[in-house]
Structure 1
Amino acid sequence: MSNTDFTLEKLLPILLEGSGADDQVDLGGDIIDTEFTALGYESLAMLETAGRIEREYDISLDEEALAEALTPRALIDLVNAHLPAARAV
């Protein structure tokens, strides 16, 4: 894995800056496979998160694929799938 890959460590600040977090949720725990709804992130918060990722990494995420990325792992995989295409341009 290269240092340009999108990771959980890179996702967490985007989640916190964009939408905050439920005070009951520990984003420092093992959340990689926890659904975003269980973490307190509803669809509007995820759209804000996706927008921040798209701007920061200069990529475009498919809305349907984004809607299916229900966990941090799924979102990270989706972003990483788009990064090589962005680097090749």
Structure 2
Amino acid sequence: MAEFNLVRLSQLLREHGEQDASVDVDLAGNIEDITFEDLGIDSLALFNTFVQIEREYTVELSYDVAVDAETPGELVKLVNEKLATGS
């Protein structure tokens, strides 16, 4: 399986929820260091994105990953660490 990246994460976020209309950030832009909250991503969209990542990349994302990853960049890093260790 290929490495997980910001482009794929952005696609998944758009597929699994609507961005808060009051937030003026393009998910296709440089979102690496912007918190999910500041991106206007709600918890349901983030949960559904996590589930899709688990299915697509055959990794298990624990609750700790969900809590620790506050930005897309952090999530990409954590997923790739899981992929590298095969867990």
Greater helix content:
1
Gaps of 5+ in 2: none
- Alignment partner, residue 9 of structure 1: 7
* Structure 1 match to 2:20: 22
Tell me the TM-score normalised to structure 1 length. 0.83
Alignment check: 8 A CA contact 2:7 2:28 kept: no
Scaled by the length of structure 2, the TM-score of the pair is 0.85
Structure 1: gaps (5+ residues): none
Indicate the SS of the match to 2:48.
Answer: helix
Corresponding residue for residue 59 of structure 1 = 59
List, as ranges, runs of 4+ consecutive aligned residues in structure 1 with deviation greater than 4 Å.
none
Percent identity for Structure 1 against Structure 2? 39
Measured after TM superposition, the shift of residue 22 of structure 1 is 3.2
